[in-house]
Amino acid sequence: MSVNETQTVLVGQSRAQLREWAATTLGEPAYRGAQLAKWIYEKAAADFDAMTDLPAAMRTRLREVARVTPNTLSATQRSRDGAIKCLLRLADGNEVECVLLPYEERVSVCLSTQVGCAMGCRFCATAQGGYTRNLTAGEIIDQLLHLQRLSERRITHVALMGMGEPLLNLENALDALRLMHDEIGIGYRRMTISTVGIVPKIYALAERNLPITLAVSLHAPDNETRAQIMPVNRKWGVDTLIQAARDYFETTRRRITFEYLLLRGVNDTPEHAHQLASKLRGVPCLVNLIPFNYVPTPDGFQRPEAERVRRFRAILDAAGIETTQRVERGHDIDAACGQLRGKHLGKPIPLLTHAKG
């Protein structure tokens, strides 16, 4: 699909902005902009023909000067377990992926915030593709709208856990979440932002005092192990990161989720579990264990056996650390944690940076 760069992209604009645009650009009453917002965000309309309560002449004019979406759908895959993975092409030709994850009690989406990632986590093949650019707020929320059109149920939960480090695109990420809250009606308490541990940005997010859940990719309880698999740890060590998480809770009163990717023989021993329990004692948190989903990496990481996972969790449970194990979805379409793959400049790129999904 060719893109007319002279056209105004409407996804990413708030109701107030669309009201002003309708009045100043189209010469229509401002309430027509509010109608546009309702069609775009509440009904996930993809084209102007669907907006049947707008005058025909206005729809004709809209097709000339505007387009709804900044992204186009390139491919869709559906898992046997109900997960749906979409590959979206951006206006500049880059591509990102997003995933719909339906559960009995909710419908979640996992969205990307950057094209590529610069964080260099050793277990994540996205890092091997490098970093290209931040996504705009419109490009982020548009992923949700594409997924909503494919879902039989309303999307209820949002996780910024896809390609990229959300806190390095904090303003655009928050603008997208604000649109989801204000225009679609998804509560902040049903939103999660993940991070590999950009400590200054954790404090910047806390200053907004929004009831958003922070998911911290911890993946090791000691600096030596964590630095080997996550270069970010050389700048902000484990203790500094855990303190920032504690401070985030003190400001927002939102319990932290610590994501812990289990790599066989690397960070999954009983000693690691005891160290982790010691580090997190007294921190209001939930530990989410994620057995490694295989993707090719230079280090050849492997998934731990079920008994190793069970033993690791038992140690945390015995120490009073609330622990869950990630419900894994979309294995058959490479949409499980850490497995998403797109194509960027002809290279395969897995899109979930923090082994999330």
Q: CATH 1.10.150.530: which residues of the chain?
A: 8-67
CATH topology of domain 8-67: DNA polymerase; domain 1 (1.10.150)
The two three-digit tokens of residue 187, written as one number: 């509560």
Per-residue pLDDT of the chain (357 residues; tens, 9 = 90+): 345 678 999 999 999 999 999 999 999 999 999 999 999 999 999 999 999 999 999 999 999 999 999 999 999 999 888 899 999 999 999 999 999 999 999 999 999 999 999 999 988 877 777 899 999 999 999 999 999 999 999 999 999 999 999 999 999 999 999 999 999 999 999 999 999 999 999 999 999 999 999 999 999 999 999 999 999 999 999 999 999 999 999 999 999 999 999 999 999 999 999 999 999 999 999 999 999 987 777 888 999 999 999 999 999 999 999 999 976 654 554 544 444 444 444 443 333 333 333
Question: What pLDDT is recorded for position 297?
Answer: 78
Question: What pLDDT is recorded for position 248?
Answer: 97
**Helices assigned H by DSSP within the chain:** 15-24, 31-37, 56-65, 126-129, 137-150, 170-179, 199-208, 223-229, 238-252, 270-280, 306-318
Q: Extract long-range pairs of 15-18: CB within 8 Å, 24+ residues apart.
A: 15/182, 15/183
Return d(Cα 101, Cα 92) in angstroms, integer.
28
CATH entry, 72-350, from 3.20.20.70, 3.40.50.720, 3.40.640.10, 3.10.580.10? 3.20.20.70
Helix (H, G, I), strand (E, B) or coil at 355: coil
What residues act catalytically? 97, 337
Instruction: Report yes or no: 301 and 263 within 8 Å, Cβ to Cβ.
Output: yes
Q: CATH 3.20.20.70: which residues of the chain?
A: 72-350
Question: What pLDDT is recorded for position 351?
Answer: 36
Q: Are strands 114-116 and 131-134 parallel, antiparallel or unpaired?
A: antiparallel
Closest CA to 173 of 232, 119, 113, 213: 113
- The structure's pTM equals 0.91
Closest CA to 157 of 219, 215, 196, 72: 215
